[in-house]
């Protein structure tokens, strides 16, 4: 029986975003094909979803397919799409059970039609729930900024936005994440320490945690380790330690 994470942490982030890296290396270490690494990666998604429920996490974002992942061999891209499809079919009941809604960020319309249909069906059947699982699919921050710029230009042309009034609030409303809180904690597995075009604007004040473990090995103990590290961080948002200490506690 594994140790439950419920009530174990005094400070729980609202939003954790994960770069699930190292499936290929995990497979290589075990003498298996890359696809098997991704399959084990999906099994690990199930276990981390369980951890997220135990800590009552408001938003969990998973980087499942980047806008650059199309450049991988065709059979790997197809296998990732199939795994996504199987995941959606098999995990829909779990989302209902845990009252989690599915959301996607990224250029969804460029994914295979059957995957889009499935995503939309699960998004709509879970829309009423309070907690959120965000799948970043065909996602990249630079493309997201391009899409936001297009929306802003259209608003200016339609006369609904005066460029002189453009500020971060109006710009962030045009990002894919307009209805989500910014991530408090970004985790990347597999020992790589870079953000790889993932939530670059939203993670401006996020704490970053790098784990040496490949994604299929990033278990609940490792997830708890990331949360323990988060407890110890002092988030200053450009202020000094003294200012932070004097700040009134949030209501
Ligand atoms: C990185 O490992 C992982 C990916 C590119 C895909 C992540 C996808 C999954 C875990 C499966 C699909 C997700 C869901 C939610 C159903 P890598 O292949 O880059 O590993 P490597 O750097 O060791 O080669």
Residue with CA closest to ligand 1 atom 15: 64
Would residue 82 show up in a list of annotated catalytic residues for this protein?
A: no
For residue 59, give both structure tokens: 């938003």
pLDDT of residue 247: 74
Structural domains of the chain, ranges and CATH numbers in brackets? 15-231 (3.40.1180.10)
Relative to the CA of 76, which ligand 1 atom is closest?
A: 18
Q: How far is the CA of 15 from the centre of ligand 1 (A)?
A: 20
pLDDT of residue 234: 80
Task: Find residue 101's DSSP bridge partners.
Answer: 132
Most ligand 1 atoms within 8 A of CB, residue of 17, 21, 198 to mutate: 21
Contact assessment for residue 130 and residue 59, using Cβ atoms and an 8 Å cutoff: no
CB atoms within 10 A of CB 46: 12
The pTM is what? 0.94
pLDDT of residue 241: 79
Q: How far is the CA of 41 from the centre of ligand 1 (A)?
A: 7
DSSP letter for each residue of 30-70: TT--HHHHHHHHHHHHHHHHHHHHHTT-SEEEEEEEETTGG
- Do the bridges between strand 207-210 and strand 131-139 make them parallel or antiparallel, or are there none, so unpaired? unpaired
pLDDT of residue 237: 78
* DSSP, res 191: T
Name the H helices within the chain: 23-29, 34-54, 74-97, 113-125, 141-157, 168-172, 220-232, 241-246
Cα dihedral 96, 98, 100, 102, rounded to 10, equals: -60
Q: How far is the CA of 190 from the centre of ligand 1 (A)?
A: 11
**Which of these, 106, 112, 124, lies nearest to 82 by C-alpha position?**
112
Residue with CA closest to ligand 1 atom 16: 84
Residue with CA closest to ligand 1 atom 1: 21
pLDDT of residue 243: 80
Ligand 1, residues at Cβ distance < 6 Å: 20-25, 38, 41-42, 45, 62, 64, 69, 80, 83-84, 87, 135, 190
> Which stretches of the chain score pLDDT less than 70?
1, 248-251
Per-residue pLDDT reduced to its tens digit, 110-157: 999 999 999 999 999 999 999 999 999 999 999 999 999 999 999 999
Q: How far is the CA of 215 from the centre of ligand 1 (A)?
A: 8
pLDDT of residue 220: 97
Contact assessment for residue 198 and residue 105, using Cβ atoms and an 8 Å cutoff: no
For residue 130, give both structure tokens: 């309070």
CB atoms within 10 A of CB 114: 10
Relative to the CA of 214, which ligand 1 atom is closest?
A: 23
Would residue 147 show up in a list of annotated catalytic residues for this protein?
A: no
Q: How far is the CA of 72 from the centre of ligand 1 (A)?
A: 11
pLDDT of residue 160: 97
């Amino acid at each position: 029986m594994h140790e439950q994470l419920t009530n174990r942490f005094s400070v729980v982030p609202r939003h954790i975003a994960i770069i699930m890296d190292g499936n290929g290396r995990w497979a290589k270490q075990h003498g298996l094909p890359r696809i098997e690494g991704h399959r084990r990666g999906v099994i690990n998604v199930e276990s981390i979803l369980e951890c997220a429920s135990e800590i009552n996490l408001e938003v969990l974002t998973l980087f499942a397919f980047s806008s650059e992942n199309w450049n991988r061999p065709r059979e790997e891209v197809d296998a990732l799409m199939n795994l996504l499809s199987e995941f959606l079919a098999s995990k829909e009941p779990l989302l209902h059970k845990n009252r989690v809604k599915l959301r996607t960020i990224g250029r969804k319309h460029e994914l295979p039609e059957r995957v889009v249909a499935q995503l939309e069906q699960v998004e709509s059947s879970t829309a009423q729930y309070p907690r959120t699982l965000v799948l970043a699919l065909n996602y990249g921050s630079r493309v997201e900024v391009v899409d936001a710029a297009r929306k802003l230009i259209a608003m200016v042309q339609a006369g609904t936005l005066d460029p002189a009034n453009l500020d971060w609030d109006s710009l962030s409303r045009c990002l894919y994440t307009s209805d989500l809180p910014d991530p408090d904690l970004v985790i990347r597995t597999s020992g790589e320490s870079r953000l790889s075009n993932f939530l670059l604007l939203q993670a401006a004040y996020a704490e970053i945690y790098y784990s040496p473990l490949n994604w299929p090995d990033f278990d609940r103990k490792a997830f708890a380790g990331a949360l323990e590290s988060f407890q110890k961080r002092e988030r200053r948002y450009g202020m000094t330690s003294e200012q932070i200490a004097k700040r009134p506690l949030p209501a």
